[in-house]
Amino acid sequence: MILRHIRTALFFMSPLLPSLASANFSIETDFPGGNALVEKIEGNVVHIAPDNRDSRLPWFYWYFAIKGAGGQTVTFVLNPMHIGARGPGISTDGGATWSWLGAESAKDGTFSHTFPAAANDVRFSSGMPYVKSNFDKFLAAHKDNPFLHVETLAKTGKGRSAPLLLLTDSQRKAPYVVALTARMHCCEMMGSYVLEGIIEGVLANDEYGQWLRKNVDFFIMPFSDFDGVEDGDQGKNRTPHDHNRDFGDGSIYPEVIALKERLPAWSNGRPLVFFDIHNPALKGDVHEVIQFLAGESPEQADSLAKFAALLERNQQGELLFRQNMIMKFGTGYNKWSETPPPISSGWARTLPNCILSATLELPYANASAMTVNADSARSFGRDIAWALKSFLQENPAAGRQ
Amino acid sequence: MKRALFLLLPLLPTRTAIADFATPFTAPPYTLGASVLGMEGWASRLKDYAGDGASSRLVAVRWDNFQPALLLDGASIKNDFPATTGARVRVTLRIAFTFPMIELPLAQTRILIQNAPFGEIIFKCHPQAGLGLAMNPKEPIKVLVPFDQMRLNSYYTVTILVDYEQSSYDVTATGLKHDGSPLLFEEKGIHFESNAKFLKNLALITSQTARTYIQQLLIESL
């Protein structure tokens, strides 16, 4: 039996398992980002699957809490393709912080966990879920920063206020604009940590942060599919199309419509750099390499190559980036029948003031054998911030400084 | 590198050390963001190799409170410092790496000091290696910090005290393990056989698959 949209499911162990006869636990998804289908319970073995909801193609995002399992060992069985390169993510503080259980923790889609006696709410996921409460906690650490402004970008389809973050000196306009978007596919949470790192780089009291605050206004859409993030949807291949296929004519999602209206007006002709931050598939092949997806024109490809060279040169984080980590237009999955492609970075390239626009793919867990986690993703974000400074400083075609 | 730079060492209050080779990156002519080539004896090992300018730069290290360090990324450089003169010589190195956690034999950093009885100071991405000493890259490594315990972007301090009269050396390594706990390696009285009684000349060779930060490299006659 498949229990759909589990809120709280309390399972008692079978009396046929005397060692667990007194054990019980519940599996819950009734919190922001929650997503799981409990397919069946056999003793202390739980069969879990992602809830695909309105996605047309099967996807891999899942996120559940297990409560009341203290002192027990529980085995979870999933499709092997739904567990990432470093095993499942685990949180013991209600989703505030995460770590990987480790690649060796899961075999053939199965992993077990022995819960300490005092454990009550332990979270597991295909990734390291990041929802609005994580963002609020991050912003709280910067709440007195005069350059940080939080607005409502749009009311979502479900009536939520999708946030817009502006990093700007309200007394003056900077010569450059950088726009950053994340969670076009709402399940791709690791991009949110990159975004935190970029923001930290901009607000830092070092020469890079100071230069960026003086010379760049940042327009940041942290949750492009805000309902999906909070509801725990896959988002990818959403019906009738997902948010990152909504950038052609006749956009339907309020966040996308608002972005298309506000960014051109806000940038007002100033040289614009646009990055849309994604995660690829869960593991394997190019999905375990950082990739920038290049645009269709030689000018855009050249701009991205220059940025990538600076990113490689300036990086100091825990993820090694190399300038050849660019998926050229027309190669790999960066192939499109439409030009420009109806994706966010493709739309941004149609703006006359856009000097560089690209999609960034950060792997979920494994980037060229480096561990992707919240810290390393943030440090990569800091590297991007530093590279932005160098790019805008050194690229003579980028406009006045 | 200041041949006649005298330092009073807190650990040896009654003795004077001569810094035969030092890396005073905080002082001119070193400049943040610039290559060290052409300064204080630093030069390319490979004649006219254009890539060394970018591959051996002085940077302010973000994860070390912006303290300066020599960043090496695919570098092959040298510094021909004069021979040491002491009956004992101390080599002190503070070094960190960004590296993939897989077996990657060519992901190496090699620090070669001519005549060094301890061989090379070497870092290799290999389960049986890590940071250690080796007579050459093909020999087994005396592992100071095992690869699976190494921490990315975290400095390790390696100190080697060579005693020519005793024909032996002591080596210690400190830093943090992968899990953040303290690491200490210590071995004393390692015997060597060598007719050479001095160290001279230095070469740094690093791959592009691991980035290397050198915050301090000090060679002192005691």
**Which of A247, A273, A272 minimizes the C-alpha distance to A260?**
A247
Residue at which a domain ends, from A83, A105, A125: A125
Are A192 and A139 within 8 A, CB to CB?
no
Residue at which a domain ends, from A81, A110, A125: A125
- pLDDT in tens for each of the 401 residues of chain A? 344 444 444 443 333 333 333 348 999 999 999 999 999 999 999 999 999 999 999 999 999 999 999 999 999 999 999 999 999 999 999 999 999 999 999 999 999 999 999 999 999 999 999 999 999 999 999 999 999 999 999 999 999 999 999 999 999 999 999 999 999 999 999 999 999 999 999 999 999 999 999 999 999 999 999 999 999 999 999 999 999 999 999 999 999 999 999 999 999 999 999 999 999 999 999 999 999 999 999 999 999 999 999 999 999 999 999 999 999 999 999 999 988 899 999 999 999 999 999 999 999 999 999 999 999 999 999 999 999 999 999 865 554 43
B71: nearest CA partner in chain A: A316
Is there a contact between B98 and A318 if contact means CB atoms under 8 Å apart?
Answer: yes
Q: Name residue A168's beta-bridge partners.
A: none
Query: Is there a single domain that holds both residue A256 and residue A394?
Result: yes
Is there a contact between A316 and B59 if contact means CB atoms under 8 Å apart?
Answer: yes
Q: How far is the CA of B206 from the CAs of B56, B106, B217, B221, in angstroms?
A: 10, 9, 16, 27
Of all residues in chain B, what percent carry a pLDDT higher than 90?
67
Amino acid at A336: W
Query: Is there a single domain that holds both residue A246 and residue A360?
Result: yes
Identify whether A2 is part of a domain.
Answer: no
- Least CB-CB distance to B54: which of A206, A313, A316? A313
Residue at which a domain ends, from A125, A160, A189: A125
- Least CB-CB distance to B63: which of A206, A316, A370? A316
Identify whether A229 is part of a domain.
Answer: yes
**Which of B178, B100, B111 minimizes the C-alpha distance to B146?**
B178
Query: Is there a single domain that holds both residue A170 and residue A254?
Result: yes
Is there a contact between B62 and A316 if contact means CB atoms under 8 Å apart?
Answer: yes
The verdict on A348 touching B (C-beta cutoff 8 Å) is no
Which residues on chain A are in Cβ contact (under 8 Å) with B104? 369
Distance (Å, whole) CA A377 – CA A374: 5
Q: What's the start-to-end Cα distance of chain B, in Å?
A: 17
Q: Which residue bears the tokens 């027990």?
A: A72
A244: distance to nearest CA of chain B, Å? 32
- Least CB-CB distance to A320: which of B59, B66, B211? B211
Are A23 and A32 within 8 A, CB to CB?
no
Identify whether B57 is part of a domain.
Answer: no
Q: How far is the CA of A285 from the CAs of A105, A278, A282, A290, A367, in angstroms?
A: 21, 16, 10, 11, 11
A13 CB neighbour count, 10 Å cutoff = 18
- Least CB-CB distance to B98: which of A313, A320, A382? A320
Query: Is there a single domain that holds both residue A221 and residue A90?
Result: no
Query: Is there a single domain that holds both residue A108 and residue A207?
Result: no
Number of domains forming the structure of chain B? 1
Number of domains forming the structure of chain A? 2
| 3-class DSSP assignment, residue A149 | strand
Asked if residue A396 has a cis previous peptide bond (ω within 30° of 0), the answer is no
The complex scores an ipTM of 0.88
Identify whether B29 is part of a domain.
Answer: no
A310: nearest CA partner in chain B: B54
Domain of A138: which CATH number?
A: 3.40.630.10
Query: Is there a single domain that holds both residue A281 and residue A309?
Result: yes
Least confident interval from A306-320, A368-382, B48-62, B140-154: B48-62
Is there a contact between A368 and B211 if contact means CB atoms under 8 Å apart?
Answer: no
Identify whether A3 is part of a domain.
Answer: no
Q: Choosing among A211, A320, A379, which should be mutated to test the B contact, i.e. which has the most B CBs within 10 A? A: A320
Distance (Å, whole) CA A277 – CA A358: 9
Q: What are phi and psi of A206, to 5 degrees?
A: -125, 180
Q: Which residue bears the tokens 């309200």?
A: A170
- Per-residue pLDDT at B22: 85
Identify whether A1 is part of a domain.
Answer: no
Q: State mean pLDDT over B121-145.
A: 91
Amino acid at B135: M
Is there a contact between A316 and B102 if contact means CB atoms under 8 Å apart?
Answer: no
Identify whether B6 is part of a domain.
Answer: no
Could you tell me how far CA B66 lies from the centroid of its own chain?
20
Tell me the residue range of the domain where B190 lies: 18-24+73-221
Distance (Å, whole) CA A201 – CA A325: 22
B interface with A, Cβ–Cβ < 8 A, is 54, 59-63, 66, 98-102, 104, 152-153, 208-209, 211
Identify whether B131 is part of a domain.
Answer: yes
Q: State mean pLDDT over B140-156.
A: 96
Kindly give the interhelix angle for A132-140 and A190-203, rounded to the nearest 10 degrees. 20
Structure tokens that stand for B147 in this block = 């690869």
Identify whether B61 is part of a domain.
Answer: no
- Least CB-CB distance to B66: which of A206, A313, A322? A206
Q: How far is the CA of A223 from the CAs of A36, A168, A197, A276, B76, in angstroms?
A: 21, 19, 16, 11, 45
Question: Do the strands A176-182 and A216-221 form a parallel or antiparallel pair, or are they unpaired?
Answer: parallel
- Per-residue pLDDT at B19: 78
Q: What is the pTM of this model?
A: 0.92
Query: Is there a single domain that holds both residue A17 and residue A97?
Result: yes
Tell me the residue range of the domain where A45 lies: 8-125
Query: Is there a single domain that holds both residue A102 and residue A179?
Result: no
Alpha-carbon dihedral sign for residues A41, A42, A45, A51: negative
DSSP string, A284-351: SGGGGS-EEEP-SSHHHHHHHHHHHHHHHHH--SSS---TT-EE-TTSTT---SSSS-SSHHHHHHTS
Q: Name residue B79's beta-bridge partners.
A: B42, B202
- Per-residue pLDDT at A398: 53
Structure tokens that stand for A278 in this block = 């994604």
| 3-class DSSP assignment, residue B216 | strand
Identify whether B50 is part of a domain.
Answer: no
Least confident interval from A64-68, B74-78, B103-107: B103-107
Domain of B173: which CATH number?
A: 2.60.120
Query: Is there a single domain that holds both residue A137 and residue A252?
Result: yes
- pLDDT tens for each residue of B168-219: 999 999 999 999 999 999 999 999 998 899 999 999 999 888 899 999 999 9
Identify whether B52 is part of a domain.
Answer: no
Q: What is the mean pLDDT of chain B?
A: 88
Domain of A14: which CATH number?
A: 2.60.40.3120
Query: Is there a single domain that holds both residue A269 and residue A387?
Result: yes
The verdict on A379 touching B (C-beta cutoff 8 Å) is yes
- Per-residue pLDDT at A396: 54
Which residues on chain B are in Cβ contact (under 8 Å) with A379? 63
**Which of A177, A179, A90, A97 minimizes the C-alpha distance to A138?**
A97
Identify whether B176 is part of a domain.
Answer: yes
Query: Is there a single domain that holds both residue A211 and residue A114?
Result: no
Is there a contact between B100 and A313 if contact means CB atoms under 8 Å apart?
Answer: no
Which residues on chain A are in Cβ contact (under 8 Å) with B66? 206
B9: distance to nearest CA of chain A, Å? 32
The verdict on A301 touching B (C-beta cutoff 8 Å) is no
Query: Is there a single domain that holds both residue A288 and residue A170?
Result: yes
Structure tokens that stand for A52 in this block = 């695909």
Distance (Å, whole) CA A389 – CA A30: 42
B213: nearest CA partner in chain A: A316
Residues with Cβ within 8 Å of B168's Cβ and at least 6 positions away in sequence, in order, are B188, B189, B190, B191, B192
Q: State mean pLDDT over B28-56.
A: 81
Write down the number of H helices and E strands in chain A.
Answer: 8, 21
Identify whether A107 is part of a domain.
Answer: yes
| 3-class DSSP assignment, residue A162 | strand
